Amino acid sequence: MPPITIVFFLTGLAVWAIGLYFVGAGAQPREGGPNPLVSVGWLSLIAGLSDFGQAFYIMAARPEPLGADGSVLISGLIVFYATFFTLLGITAIKGLDLRVIGNVAIPVAIVPLFYWNVFAGGWMFRSILIVWLIAFLAVWATTYGRFSAKLLGWILLFTAVYTFWVPGILLALGRPIP
């Protein structure tokens, strides 16, 4: 399997956990227990740091300036998301203001759209860019109280399945991503 499957599966788990937290599943601490957002933060931090590692591995394994398969460009995109998930993890663990995450979510929503041509000929990756645009703009709006946290949770659950796990599963089955 390509190394990007690690990014798909692990980051998908983080997005899934965040989504469940926002829909309210396991979001309330047990009596006298810790805030579940801290556990979500740890998973996000682990995903972010792992994504950094995978991006650097991909660049080291295929160091061509624009590699025939666009590996350096894809690594750049992975680093972009790795930064977001690392920051989210630290913010959740430390109980910091989530509006900073919302502010960072705006460029994370928009900049990947400039990868549109990188994914020419692949409808799924292009549709993933659109889902990420919606998801990250919803993150921004939620952190500023302009969007329902529960609806954001459902968007993130869909995002985890469609944009992370489905491509990873296709690769694990030896199939190309359409």
pLDDT tens for the 178 residues of the chain, in order: 567 888 999 999 999 999 999 999 988 888 888 889 999 999 999 999 999 999 988 888 765 554 556 777 888 899 999 999 999 999 999 999 999 999 999 999 999 999 999 888 889 999 999 999 999 999 999 999 999 999 999 999 999 999 999 999 999 999 999 9
Q: Which domains does the chain have, with CATH numbers?
A: 4-172 (1.25.40.600)
Please name the residues in contact with 57: beta carbons below 8 A apart, sequence gap of 6 or more. 3
Instruction: State the virtual CA torsion across 92, 97, 100, 103 in degrees, nearest 10.
Output: 110
| Cβ atoms within 10 Å of 178's Cβ, excluding its own | 11
pLDDT score at 153? 98
| Cβ atoms within 10 Å of 117's Cβ, excluding its own | 9
Please name the residues in contact with 110: beta carbons below 8 A apart, sequence gap of 6 or more. 133
Predicted structure pTM score:
0.92
Q: 120: which 2 tokens?
A: 């020419």
pLDDT score at 3? 72
Torsion angles phi and psi, residue 64, rounded to 5: -60, 150
Buried b / exposed e along 162-176 (16+ C-beta atoms within 10 A): ebbbbbbebbeeeee
Q: 20: which 2 tokens?
A: 């469940």
